[in-house]
Amino acid sequence: MASRSNRVLPGFGLSLGYTLVYLSLIVLIPLAAVFVKSSSLGFEQFWNVVTAPTVVASYKLSFGASLLAASINAVFGLMLAWALVRYSFPGKRLVDALVDLPFALPTAVAGIALTALYAPNGWVGQHLEPLGIKVAFTPLGVLVALIFIGLPFVVRTVQPILEDLDTEYEEAAVSLGANRWQAFRHVVFPTLMPALLTGFAMAFARAVGEYGSVIFIAGNIPMVSEITPLMIITKLEQYDYAGATAIAVVMLVFSFTLLLAINGLQAWTAKRTGRER
């Protein structure tokens, strides 16, 4: 049996036991509470809560803006990753380091900073106002915040794949008569595709659940700029625990589905590029 030789090292029982107990106490049991609590609602009640008009409006905003933000990040994130890997320019190291800013900057800080920029009297907002474009306190503001938090996911999944990509393939393509665009379209892009999709899915998943950076700039106007996580907060503030839980179940089911998809995508990336994930 293969595992016999593995047990040369000590501590299997202790480390795995501790991992499982801690995981259950902190994550699994509390998460199970959501599903148990929601089952105290009958199906009809559950359905009424999760399909109430304000809640449905919040899904449309949360999912729509997240999808759009992730798509925008996929395009510009790919370009930024390309610039960081393929070109040299002054300040490149600084740009490279700051790409991770949304991971490190507290979401509330990002939220108030973006609001200050895009408010009608802000640095950016005052130039958009005369053009009739309102960003802060509209769904457009939600989009801006979601672009901010999603960008590093795309750059950081594409960048390592691009760095590892052997130039031989592009050289072969060129020697076979491909022009630069054809080489990119048919040689480079298919290799990057799984990583790009992974980054897109991660940015999307993060955006749907995002709260801190969005609520300041969103303005939280019912039916217009209320995101789904805010609906949970609103229900909690009204002591409607069952209602909050029902919406949480919808969000959790969605997150778990997306998590499975991301795992599948990462396995695909690993297969396509031979990289360990």
Does 34 help bind another protein (rule: CB under 8 A)?
A: yes
* Residue keyed to tokens 């991301």: 262
What is the per-residue binding string for another protein in 56-85, x denoting contact by CB under 8 A? --------------------x--xx-xxxx
Among 120, 222, 263, 271, binds another protein (CB under 8 A): 263
Site stretch for another protein (CB under 8 A), options 43-51, 127-135, 164-172, 189-197: 164-172
Does 96 help bind another protein (rule: CB under 8 A)?
A: yes
Assess contact for 277 and 266: CB atoms under 8 A: yes
Does 54 help bind another protein (rule: CB under 8 A)?
A: no
Does 10 help bind another protein (rule: CB under 8 A)?
A: yes
Q: Which long-range contacts (CB under 8 A, 24 or more apart) does 104-113 make?
A: 106/212, 107/149, 107/210, 107/211, 107/212, 107/213, 108/212, 108/213, 108/216, 110/145, 110/148, 110/149, 110/212, 110/213, 111/145, 111/212, 111/213, 111/214, 111/215, 111/216, 111/217, 112/216
Site stretch for another protein (CB under 8 A), options 46-54, 133-141, 218-226, 253-261: 253-261
Angle at 64 between CA 223 and CA 190, to 5 degrees: 175
What is the per-residue binding string for another protein in 175-214, x denoting contact by CB under 8 A? x----x--x---------------------x--xxxxx--
CA dist 222 and 264 (Å) reads 37
Among 42, 44, 93, 132, binds another protein (CB under 8 A): 93
CA atoms in the 13 A half-sphere facing the CB of 180: 0
Tokens of 26: 């902190």
Does 87 help bind another protein (rule: CB under 8 A)?
A: yes
Does 123 help bind another protein (rule: CB under 8 A)?
A: yes
Site stretch for another protein (CB under 8 A), options 8-16, 44-52, 53-61, 132-140: 8-16
Question: Which residue, 223 or 267, is less far from another protein as judged by CB?
Answer: 267
Q: What distance, in Å, lies between the first and last C-alpha atoms of the chain?
A: 27
- Whose CA is closest to 86, among 159, 157, 153? 159
Question: Which residue, 15 or 51, is less far from another protein as judged by CB?
Answer: 15
Does 15 help bind another protein (rule: CB under 8 A)?
A: yes
Among 49, 161, 173, 265, binds another protein (CB under 8 A): 173
# binding residues, another protein (CB under 8 A) = 100
Site stretch for another protein (CB under 8 A), options 49-57, 104-112, 134-142, 189-197: 104-112
DSSP assignment of 179-197: -HHHHIIIIIHHHHHHHHH
Does 129 help bind another protein (rule: CB under 8 A)?
A: no
* Residue keyed to tokens 């379209």: 185
What is the per-residue binding string for another protein in 212-251, x denoting contact by CB under 8 A? x---x------------xx-xx--x----x--xx--x--x
